[in-house]
Amino acid sequence: MTKSRGKRRQKVTLQHVADAAKVSKATASLALNNNPRISEPTRQRVLDAVEALGYVYNQRAASLRTQRSYTIGLVFKDVSNPFNAELTSGAESQLADHNYSLVLATTNDNLEKQARMVKTMLERDVDGLILAPTATTAAASLQSLMDFCPLVLLTPYYESLAVDCVGMDDANGTARAVEHLIRQGHRRIAFVGGFATDLTRQRRLQSYRGTLQRHNIEFDPALRIAGPVSRRGGYDAVHQLLSVPRPPSAAYCYSDVIAFGVMLGLRAAGMEAGRDFAVIGFDDVPEASLWHPSLTTVSNDPRGLGEQAAQLMLRRLATADATIKRVIMPSHLVLRDSTAAPVHEMPS
């Protein structure tokens, strides 16, 4: 048989169950919800009928009345970024424990697609939305989104909004990374990747400059390279960096993927990270430990981030007027081989 009969089982509804148990639909409903007003024998009859008929509860129908869909929307750029995959996994496991499901959508960092996806989520009547806004999302549009459903942001950079959010400790993470490089003797340290509109990048850049300043190192705009958050972006940055009059001996990269690109770019230029040049990333994605050389990076527990976001959402759903909570996940520097060697002079 290679032909589907396309014959689906006739849907069994609560009414059928009620009939079979010889009670009213209301009683059946109450029985299934363990309402104490229903006697034990009756409840058992209902449960037996459910079993016998193979009844499947229709959450969707129920939600129409209860106004609770038990689904949470999760919207971010891309699942295939390992950071987001971990984050999703963390959120999913928390939510599943509380009987919530996760509906997924991705934006490709495109504002228009984000709007479309958010709309879809609202039409699906999600109970809440966990959102990593694209770089250019206006605070006002997030504010108005909050009129429609509870919101948890995956970024700490909308301070003007009274919104729950969870973010990484960009300032501290960056400071520690840069300080590590300075301690190793580096004085010419590049900042690589990301675009100027990106709020997270702005914060890290600020911390980078502050840290340099605290160590009396002058900030050199030529060492700040903007570019896409991808391997390619890092690879291409290396060209620019090496052609600066006094080239850097180290790079602090906006994210691990960029750092990977930088390492590849260095190799193409006959240099090796960890020996001829120091490279630090941000995220600590699983690959970071696998690279050769392994990547020193700021670790951020993406799974924990997802769990936190889920928990903030669950909390807000439980008590709508709870105090706004902004969670900053601690980050710590993971020392690996890409910064192993102390500074040494660049061949100009």
Restricting to residues 277-296, name those near a second copy by CB under 8 A. 286-287, 290-292
From 121-129, 183-191, 199-207, 271-279, give the range in contact with a second copy by CB under 8 A.
121-129
80 lines the binding site for a second copy (CB under 8 A): yes
The site partner of 122 among DNA, a second copy, none (C-beta below 5 to 8 Å per kind) is a second copy
Determine the residue type at 324: I
CA 13 from chain centre, in angstroms, equals 39
CB of 163 to a second copy, least distance (A): 8
199: tokens are 């709020």
Q: List the 296-299 sheet strands across, edge first.
A: 224-225, 189-192, 250-253, 278-283, 296-299, 332-334
CB of 280 to a second copy, least distance (A): 17
CB of 32 to a second copy, least distance (A): 12
321 lines the binding site for a second copy (CB under 8 A): yes
Phi, psi of 81 (to 5 degrees): -70, 125
Phi, psi of 35 (to 5 degrees): -70, 130
Ramachandran class of 217: left when φ > 0, alpha when ψ lies in -120 to 50, beta otherwise: beta
**Neighbour-count burial of 95, counting CB atoms closer than 10 A to its CB (0-12 exposed, 13-18 middle, 19+ buried):** buried
184 lines the binding site for DNA (CB under 7 A): no
Candidates 44, 48, 52, 61: give the one binding DNA (CB under 7 A).
Answer: 61
37 lines the binding site for DNA (CB under 7 A): yes
93 lines the binding site for a second copy (CB under 8 A): yes
Closest alpha carbon to 105 in 120, 86, 87: 120
Instruction: Give dist(CA 235, CA 229) in Å, integer.
Output: 11
User: Does 342 sit behind a cis peptide bond, omega within 30 degrees of 0 on the bond before it?
Assistant: no
Mask of contacts with DNA, 65-84, x by CB under 7 A?
xxx-----------------
- Cα–Cα separations (whole angstroms), residue 245 to 103, 175, 269: 51, 26, 16
Site of tokens 């006959």 = 270
Give 164's strand partners. 152
Candidates 44, 58, 141, 144: give the one binding DNA (CB under 7 A).
Answer: 58
Candidates 268, 322, 330, 335: give the one binding a second copy (CB under 8 A).
Answer: 322
11 lines the binding site for DNA (CB under 7 A): yes
Restricting to residues 202-261, name those near a second copy by CB under 8 A. 260
Candidates 7, 8, 34, 41: give the one binding DNA (CB under 7 A).
Answer: 41
Site residues (vs a second copy, CB under 8 A)? 1-6, 8-9, 56-61, 63-64, 69, 71, 78-82, 84-86, 88-89, 92-93, 96, 99, 101-106, 117, 119-125, 147-149, 162, 260, 286-287, 290-292, 303, 316, 320-324
Site residues (vs DNA, CB under 7 A)? 11, 13-15, 22-27, 29-30, 32-33, 36-39, 41-42, 55-58, 61-62, 64-67
